[in-house]
């Protein structure tokens, strides 16, 4: 499966005295393997990039469970160098299961780097009642950070007796169900549920959950997934293409006011090509940019 998620980060050097500033970043900052068949072995790669001016020691890399294997050896990473780390993940045997694995990279004199890896196995999502949600997962796709977006889901009573839904509980204040009221579903009845979501301003993939409570304390859980993006990435993409006659790609970046800093990937290649710093005008157009090659 093609890896479409390159969530990227860049840490600026600290100006105040204190603990050593983190200089090693992992690209992408998280992996979403999306939907895979049970027991499938999925291969991906991430990059450890030393953004600092001095060499650093990479001490270890380990997954939170035995389903994740990394091809990694302790070593010294030179300044501005990038190390590719292959990752192999074996999906659970259970169909319809959502799983998150965390990979931890240990770097000398730096806080551990956490890399979340998410996946969902194919098959029916188990529910605790005869009331089912369709779709089982509401996927908003790529949506602009900070925007208010709408979606809908259906609740279906698949049993031959009435089922009463007494409450709906979104996991955060960023989600509301403006039209929902407690309701009794007749056998076979279907209702539409309108969902409004304020997209997180933190860029990258995320998931929120809505819990529908049925009489008797049984519940139906409906995950709402999304990927927060910033429309300025498109302006930066066009700008780089105009300047360099090349197609640079990136899905994530770090924002500091009107400045975006990102790791750029050229075309479909898997080698991080350069570090880009771009300043924007108030109308979202590019004011200036700096592109610096990354040695591999």
The per-residue pLDDT string of the chain (296 residues; one tens digit each, 9 = 90 and over) reads 433 333 333 332 322 333 445 689 999 888 989 888 888 899 999 999 998 889 999 999 999 988 999 999 999 999 989 999 999 999 988 777 888 999 999 999 999 999 999 998 887 554 446 899 999 999 998 887 778 999 999 999 998 889 999 999 998 889 999 999 999 999 999 999 999 999 887 767 888 899 998 887 678 999 999 888 776 766 776 777 676 666 666 655 676 777 777 777 665 555 667 778 888 877 767 888 887 877 65
| Cβ–Cβ < 8 Å for 137, 87 | no
* Residue whose C-alpha is closest to residue 5's, from 47, 41, 35, 33: 33
Give the single-character DSSP code of 81. Answer: B
| Cβ–Cβ < 8 Å for 29, 56 | no
List C-alpha distances in Å: 180 to 152, 154, 177, 245. 11, 12, 6, 52
- pLDDT given at position 194: 96
Q: What are phi and psi of 93, to 5 degrees?
A: -75, -25
Pairing of strands 190-198, 175-176: antiparallel
* Residue whose C-alpha is closest to residue 104's, from 82, 134, 72, 126: 72
User: Could you tell me the pTM of the whole model?
Assistant: 0.44
> Hey, is 22 helix, strand or coil?
coil
Q: What are phi and psi of 139, to 5 degrees?
A: -110, 110
Asked whether the bond before 135 is cis by omega within 30 degrees of 0, the reply is: yes
CA separation for the pair 61, 101 (Å, rounded): 13
């Amino acid at each position: 499966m093609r890896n479409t998620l390159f969530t990227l980060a860049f840490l600026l050097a600290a100006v105040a005295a204190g603990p050593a500033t983190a200089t090693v970043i992992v690209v992408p900052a998280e992996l979403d393997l999306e939907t895979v068949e049970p027991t499938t072995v999925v291969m991906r790669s991430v990059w450890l990039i030393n953004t600092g001016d001095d060499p650093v020691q990479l001490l270890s890399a380990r997954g939170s469970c035995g389903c994740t294997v990394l091809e990694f050896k302790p070593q010294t990473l030179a300044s501005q160098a990038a190390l590719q780390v292959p990752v192999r993940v074996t999906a659970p045997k259970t169909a319809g299961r959502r799983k998150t694995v965390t990979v931890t990279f240990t770097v000398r004199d730096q806080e551990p780097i956490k890399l979340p890896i998410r996946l969902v196995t194919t098959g029916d999502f188990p529910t605790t009642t005869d009331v089912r949600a369709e779709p089982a997962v509401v996927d908003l796709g790529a949506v602009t950070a900070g925007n208010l977006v709408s979606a809908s889901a259906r609740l279906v009573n698949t049993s031959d007796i009435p089922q009463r839904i007494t409450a709906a509980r979104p996991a955060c204040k960023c989600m509301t169900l403006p039209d929902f009221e407690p309701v009794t579903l007749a056998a076979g009845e279907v209702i539409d549920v309108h969902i409004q979501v304020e997209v997180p301003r933190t860029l990258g993939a995320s998931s929120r959950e809505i819990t529908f409570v049925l009489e008797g304390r049984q519940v139906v859980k409906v995950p709402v997934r999304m990927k927060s993006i910033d429309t300025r990435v498109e302006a930066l993409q066009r700008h780089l293409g105009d300047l360099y006659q090349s197609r640079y790609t990136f899905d994530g970046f770090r924002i500091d006011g009107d400045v975006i800093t990102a790791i750029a990937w050229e075309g479909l290649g898997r080698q991080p090509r350069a570090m880009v710093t771009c300043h924007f005008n108030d109308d979202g157009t590019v004011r200036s940019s700096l592109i610096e090659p990354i040695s591999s």
